[in-house]
Structure 1
Amino acid sequence: MLRTVTAIRRTIRAALAATKPLRYTALSGEIAALVASGRLIQCSEYLRRLGLGETTIRSLRSWFGRYAARAWRTANDREPTRVWAIVDGEYRHVAVYAPTSSVFPAATACYKRMRTFNIRFELAA
Protein backbone atom coordinates (compact mmCIF):
# COMPACT_ATOMS: atom_id res chain seq x y z
CA MET A 1 0.00 0.00 0.00
CA LEU A 2 2.81 2.40 0.89
CA ARG A 3 4.49 1.83 -2.50
CA THR A 4 1.25 2.62 -4.30
CA VAL A 5 0.77 5.88 -2.40
CA THR A 6 4.41 6.84 -3.04
CA ALA A 7 4.05 6.10 -6.77
CA ILE A 8 0.87 8.18 -6.94
CA ARG A 9 2.59 11.09 -5.17
CA ARG A 10 5.53 10.92 -7.59
CA THR A 11 3.17 10.89 -10.56
CA ILE A 12 1.26 13.91 -9.26
CA ARG A 13 4.52 15.78 -8.57
CA ALA A 14 5.77 15.04 -12.10
CA ALA A 15 2.46 16.16 -13.62
CA LEU A 16 2.58 19.43 -11.69
CA ALA A 17 6.15 20.06 -12.86
CA ALA A 18 5.30 19.45 -16.54
CA THR A 19 5.05 22.51 -18.76
CA LYS A 20 1.73 23.62 -20.19
CA PRO A 21 2.61 22.71 -23.82
CA LEU A 22 3.66 19.23 -22.69
CA ARG A 23 0.40 18.70 -20.81
CA TYR A 24 -1.73 19.75 -23.82
CA THR A 25 0.35 17.61 -26.18
CA ALA A 26 -0.15 14.66 -23.86
CA LEU A 27 -3.91 15.31 -23.85
CA SER A 28 -4.01 15.35 -27.65
CA GLY A 29 -1.83 12.27 -27.99
CA GLU A 30 -1.46 10.76 -31.44
CA ILE A 31 -3.64 13.44 -33.04
CA ALA A 32 -1.04 16.09 -32.11
CA ALA A 33 1.63 14.03 -33.89
CA LEU A 34 -0.53 13.83 -37.03
CA VAL A 35 -1.06 17.60 -36.97
CA ALA A 36 2.67 18.23 -36.48
CA SER A 37 3.47 16.01 -39.48
CA GLY A 38 0.88 17.76 -41.67
CA ARG A 39 -1.37 14.72 -42.12
CA LEU A 40 -4.18 16.64 -40.41
CA ILE A 41 -4.72 20.40 -40.66
CA GLN A 42 -6.86 23.06 -39.03
CA CYS A 43 -9.19 25.28 -41.03
CA SER A 44 -6.83 28.21 -40.52
CA GLU A 45 -4.02 26.25 -42.20
CA TYR A 46 -6.32 25.49 -45.14
CA LEU A 47 -7.11 29.20 -45.49
CA ARG A 48 -3.38 29.98 -45.29
CA ARG A 49 -2.73 27.49 -48.13
CA LEU A 50 -5.28 29.35 -50.24
CA GLY A 51 -3.01 32.38 -49.99
CA LEU A 52 -5.17 34.53 -47.72
CA GLY A 53 -3.54 37.09 -45.42
CA GLU A 54 -3.30 36.62 -41.67
CA THR A 55 -5.89 39.30 -40.85
CA THR A 56 -8.33 37.75 -43.33
CA ILE A 57 -7.70 34.30 -41.88
CA ARG A 58 -8.27 35.61 -38.37
CA SER A 59 -11.63 37.07 -39.37
CA LEU A 60 -12.79 34.01 -41.35
CA ARG A 61 -11.48 31.00 -39.44
CA SER A 62 -14.12 30.72 -36.72
CA TRP A 63 -17.13 30.73 -39.01
CA PHE A 64 -15.33 28.76 -41.71
CA GLY A 65 -14.54 26.13 -39.08
CA ARG A 66 -18.20 25.93 -38.12
CA TYR A 67 -19.20 25.35 -41.74
CA ALA A 68 -16.47 22.72 -42.09
CA ALA A 69 -17.64 20.93 -38.93
CA ARG A 70 -21.21 20.98 -40.18
CA ALA A 71 -20.11 19.47 -43.51
CA TRP A 72 -18.15 16.80 -41.63
CA ARG A 73 -21.13 15.91 -39.41
CA THR A 74 -23.40 15.70 -42.46
CA ALA A 75 -21.02 13.43 -44.34
CA ASN A 76 -19.87 11.20 -41.46
CA ASP A 77 -22.64 11.29 -38.81
CA ARG A 78 -20.11 12.02 -36.06
CA GLU A 79 -18.06 14.84 -34.60
CA PRO A 80 -14.77 15.80 -36.28
CA THR A 81 -11.43 14.88 -34.72
CA ARG A 82 -10.22 17.56 -32.32
CA VAL A 83 -6.83 18.59 -30.97
CA TRP A 84 -5.60 21.10 -28.42
CA ALA A 85 -3.81 23.89 -30.30
CA ILE A 86 -2.56 27.40 -29.59
CA VAL A 87 -4.89 29.96 -31.17
CA ASP A 88 -4.07 33.62 -30.48
CA GLY A 89 -1.90 32.64 -27.50
CA GLU A 90 -4.55 30.46 -25.84
CA TYR A 91 -5.03 26.69 -25.96
CA ARG A 92 -8.28 25.82 -27.72
CA HIS A 93 -9.89 22.55 -28.73
CA VAL A 94 -10.07 22.80 -32.54
CA ALA A 95 -11.24 20.42 -35.24
CA VAL A 96 -8.69 18.99 -37.68
CA TYR A 97 -9.19 17.30 -41.04
CA ALA A 98 -7.12 15.60 -43.73
CA PRO A 99 -5.78 18.19 -46.22
CA THR A 100 -7.66 16.44 -49.04
CA SER A 101 -10.93 16.22 -47.11
CA SER A 102 -14.15 17.08 -48.92
CA VAL A 103 -15.23 19.35 -46.05
CA PHE A 104 -13.05 22.22 -47.27
CA PRO A 105 -14.73 22.63 -50.68
CA ALA A 106 -18.13 22.12 -49.02
CA ALA A 107 -17.43 24.79 -46.39
CA THR A 108 -16.07 27.15 -49.04
CA ALA A 109 -19.23 26.73 -51.12
CA CYS A 110 -21.57 27.24 -48.14
CA TYR A 111 -19.84 30.16 -46.45
CA LYS A 112 -21.00 33.34 -48.21
CA ARG A 113 -17.95 35.42 -47.25
CA MET A 114 -15.70 32.95 -49.10
CA ARG A 115 -17.50 33.70 -52.37
CA THR A 116 -15.80 37.09 -52.52
CA PHE A 117 -12.45 35.33 -53.04
CA ASN A 118 -13.61 33.46 -56.20
CA ILE A 119 -12.13 30.14 -55.12
CA ARG A 120 -12.93 27.26 -57.48
CA PHE A 121 -12.32 23.57 -57.08
CA GLU A 122 -11.74 21.24 -59.99
CA LEU A 123 -10.97 17.56 -60.04
CA ALA A 124 -7.42 16.75 -61.05
CA ALA A 125 -7.18 14.81 -64.32
Structure 2
Amino acid sequence: MPYATFWVPPDIVLIHHRIPVYHVYRADDVDDPLTYWYTLNPHATDADDDTIFDIRDFPVDDLDPTQPSNHPAILRALLDDPVWLNTWRSDADSPDRPIYRLRCPHCATENPGYELSRHLTLSG
Protein backbone atom coordinates (compact mmCIF):
# COMPACT_ATOMS: atom_id res chain seq x y z
CA MET A 1 0.00 0.00 0.00
CA PRO A 2 1.55 3.34 -0.98
CA TYR A 3 1.70 6.17 1.49
CA ALA A 4 2.82 9.79 1.49
CA THR A 5 4.70 11.76 4.09
CA PHE A 6 3.71 15.41 4.38
CA TRP A 7 4.67 18.46 6.39
CA VAL A 8 2.33 19.78 9.04
CA PRO A 9 2.77 23.17 10.67
CA PRO A 10 4.26 23.17 14.17
CA ASP A 11 2.07 24.05 17.13
CA ILE A 12 2.06 27.71 18.05
CA VAL A 13 2.93 28.25 21.69
CA LEU A 14 1.73 31.85 21.76
CA ILE A 15 1.33 34.94 19.62
CA HIS A 16 2.53 38.23 21.07
CA HIS A 17 2.48 41.50 19.08
CA ARG A 18 1.37 39.42 16.08
CA ILE A 19 4.57 37.33 16.28
CA PRO A 20 3.99 33.58 16.60
CA VAL A 21 6.35 31.39 18.62
CA TYR A 22 6.49 27.73 17.58
CA HIS A 23 7.42 24.47 19.27
CA VAL A 24 10.49 22.61 18.02
CA TYR A 25 10.23 18.82 17.64
CA ARG A 26 12.78 16.07 18.19
CA ALA A 27 13.66 14.62 14.75
CA ASP A 28 10.68 16.54 13.30
CA ASP A 29 8.29 14.09 14.96
CA VAL A 30 4.98 15.86 15.57
CA ASP A 31 4.40 13.63 18.60
CA ASP A 32 7.67 14.65 20.28
CA PRO A 33 7.83 18.41 21.03
CA LEU A 34 10.93 19.53 22.90
CA THR A 35 10.09 21.06 26.27
CA TYR A 36 12.51 24.00 26.29
CA TRP A 37 13.18 24.66 22.61
CA TYR A 38 11.27 27.22 20.55
CA THR A 39 11.59 29.10 17.27
CA LEU A 40 10.12 32.05 15.40
CA ASN A 41 10.50 30.15 12.13
CA PRO A 42 7.71 27.64 11.39
CA HIS A 43 10.03 25.67 9.07
CA ALA A 44 12.88 25.26 11.58
CA THR A 45 14.03 21.81 12.64
CA ASP A 46 15.86 20.67 15.75
CA ALA A 47 19.09 20.77 13.70
CA ASP A 48 18.77 24.50 12.85
CA ASP A 49 21.01 25.93 15.55
CA ASP A 50 20.74 29.47 14.22
CA THR A 51 16.91 29.64 14.28
CA ILE A 52 15.96 27.68 17.41
CA PHE A 53 16.58 28.72 20.99
CA ASP A 54 16.58 27.14 24.42
CA ILE A 55 14.39 29.21 26.73
CA ARG A 56 16.65 28.31 29.66
CA ASP A 57 19.39 30.46 28.09
CA PHE A 58 17.35 33.64 28.58
CA PRO A 59 16.54 34.27 32.26
CA VAL A 60 13.72 36.75 32.76
CA ASP A 61 13.07 38.38 36.13
CA ASP A 62 12.47 35.74 38.78
CA LEU A 63 10.74 33.28 36.43
CA ASP A 64 12.12 29.75 36.50
CA PRO A 65 12.57 28.63 32.86
CA THR A 66 12.58 24.96 33.90
CA GLN A 67 8.87 25.33 34.74
CA PRO A 68 6.86 25.11 31.48
CA SER A 69 4.05 27.13 33.08
CA ASN A 70 6.45 30.13 33.08
CA HIS A 71 7.29 29.82 29.37
CA PRO A 72 4.50 32.10 28.04
CA ALA A 73 5.54 34.95 30.36
CA ILE A 74 9.21 34.49 29.48
CA LEU A 75 8.44 34.36 25.76
CA ARG A 76 6.37 37.56 25.99
CA ALA A 77 9.24 39.33 27.78
CA LEU A 78 11.70 38.14 25.12
CA LEU A 79 9.44 39.33 22.29
CA ASP A 80 9.19 42.73 24.01
CA ASP A 81 13.00 43.07 23.84
CA PRO A 82 13.89 44.56 20.41
CA VAL A 83 17.52 43.40 20.62
CA TRP A 84 16.51 39.81 21.33
CA LEU A 85 13.80 39.93 18.67
CA ASN A 86 16.18 41.21 15.97
CA THR A 87 18.64 38.46 16.86
CA TRP A 88 16.12 35.63 16.53
CA ARG A 89 13.78 36.89 13.84
CA SER A 90 14.89 36.47 10.25
CA ASP A 91 14.46 39.27 7.71
CA ALA A 92 11.95 37.10 5.84
CA ASP A 93 9.65 36.90 8.87
CA SER A 94 6.78 39.33 8.77
CA PRO A 95 3.62 39.49 10.85
CA ASP A 96 1.73 40.40 7.67
CA ARG A 97 2.60 37.16 5.86
CA PRO A 98 0.09 34.32 6.22
CA ILE A 99 1.31 31.63 8.60
CA TYR A 100 -0.15 28.67 6.72
CA ARG A 101 -1.77 27.88 3.43
CA LEU A 102 -5.41 27.07 3.91
CA ARG A 103 -5.65 25.31 0.54
CA CYS A 104 -3.82 22.33 -0.95
CA PRO A 105 -1.04 23.60 -3.27
CA HIS A 106 -1.84 20.82 -5.77
CA CYS A 107 -5.63 20.83 -6.11
CA ALA A 108 -6.61 24.07 -4.29
CA THR A 109 -9.05 22.17 -2.07
CA GLU A 110 -9.63 23.85 1.28
CA ASN A 111 -8.12 21.88 4.15
CA PRO A 112 -11.17 20.91 6.25
CA GLY A 113 -9.01 19.79 9.19
CA TYR A 114 -7.12 23.08 9.46
CA GLU A 115 -6.44 24.10 13.04
CA LEU A 116 -3.93 26.67 14.29
CA SER A 117 -2.97 24.96 17.51
CA ARG A 118 -4.49 23.35 20.53
CA HIS A 119 -1.91 25.28 22.63
CA LEU A 120 -2.59 28.76 21.24
CA THR A 121 -2.32 31.65 23.68
CA LEU A 122 -3.00 35.17 22.41
CA SER A 123 -1.58 38.26 24.03
CA GLY A 124 -0.57 41.84 23.24
Query: Which structure has the highest strand share of the two?
Result: 2
Structure of higher CA gyration radius:
1
Structure with greater helix percent: 1
User: TM-score w.r.t. structure 2 length?
Assistant: 0.32
User: Could you tell me the TM-score, scaled by structure 1's length?
Assistant: 0.32
